[in-house]
Amino acid sequence: MYSQIASSLKATHLALNAPIQDDNIRSPFITPLCGDFGPLVPGIPGEKDFEEAFWVQAVQNGIKQTWAPRYTMFSRGNITEKARILNFPDVKDQEVADLFVGIGYFAFSYLKAGAKRVWGWDLNAWSVEGLRRGAELNGWRCAVNPESMADARVVVYNEDNARAVEVLKMNNVKMKHVNLGLLPSSECAWGIATKILHEEGGWIHVHGNCKDTEIDGWIKDVENGFRILFGKSWMVDCQEKFRVKEYSPAVGHWVLDLYCSRILK
């Protein structure tokens, strides 16, 4: 029956989807119904596991992305935020940090918009492999856990972002854009974002889930939270709020564009 359904949809694979798991890498949970999704890998994957896995591709805004649906989530609804990034006015030739980079959901949009380099962190080895493959599909060199940056447009670390401050300091770079794309809240990385932002100021893009009726209050809470972290010598101003998509009834996936700069005396 499932084979006939897949055939009628002109699909090769069919699976039952379920909510994202409540773990630290936001793992997907699917039940394969038709087609070979590759062997189930219970632990840390290796090169052989990557080769045997089932990978899919999507093209959004002319950008190619790839992922293994058994192990990595993908939301087509994020296309609106990806398109918005392409039109940011001051990305060209700048350094960008994506502290929850995934398969390059938003990182690739920064690169297409002309960013000099994107620095990313992610705990999920499957996501990092998807990012590496996706960068290759788009013609961008990707360095994974590198000792040397060389000509890489994407530098990604398969680890917690706790070392981001140390790594970026060691490479003598400061960010003009910091992307915090974790749901339901990215607050765990707010402090890191303030420490890696360029000393002349820049943008912090804060993703989060918020009831639509409470968005004004959330904006104030986020602004105040960053003002405390930066200290009295910095200004924090939410210059744009954007509803990416519906997360659940009456709850939106929102992004706040915070412009942060030193107060001139």
Question: By the 8 A CB rule, do 127 and 148 touch?
Answer: no
Which has more pLDDT, 130 or 247? 130
User: Is the confidence at residue 149, as pLDDT, over 90?
Assistant: no
Give me the mean pLDDT over the 145-171 stretch: 90
Give me the mean pLDDT over the 88-108 stretch: 96
User: Is the confidence at residue 148, as pLDDT, over 70?
Assistant: no
Phi-psi region of 161 (alpha: psi -120 to 50; beta: other; left: phi over 0): alpha
Q: In the prediction, which pLDDT does 265 show?
A: 66
User: Is the confidence at residue 205, as pLDDT, over 80?
Assistant: yes
Q: In the prediction, which pLDDT does 14 show?
A: 93
Average pLDDT over the chain reads 93
Q: What are the structural domains of the chain? A: 75-262 (3.40.50.150)
Give the confidence band of 78 by pLDDT, cuts at 50, 70, 90.
very high
| φ, ψ dihedrals at 41, nearest 5° | -110, 110
- According to DSSP, the β-strands at 117-121 and 95-98 are parallel
User: Is the confidence at residue 24, as pLDDT, over 80?
Assistant: no
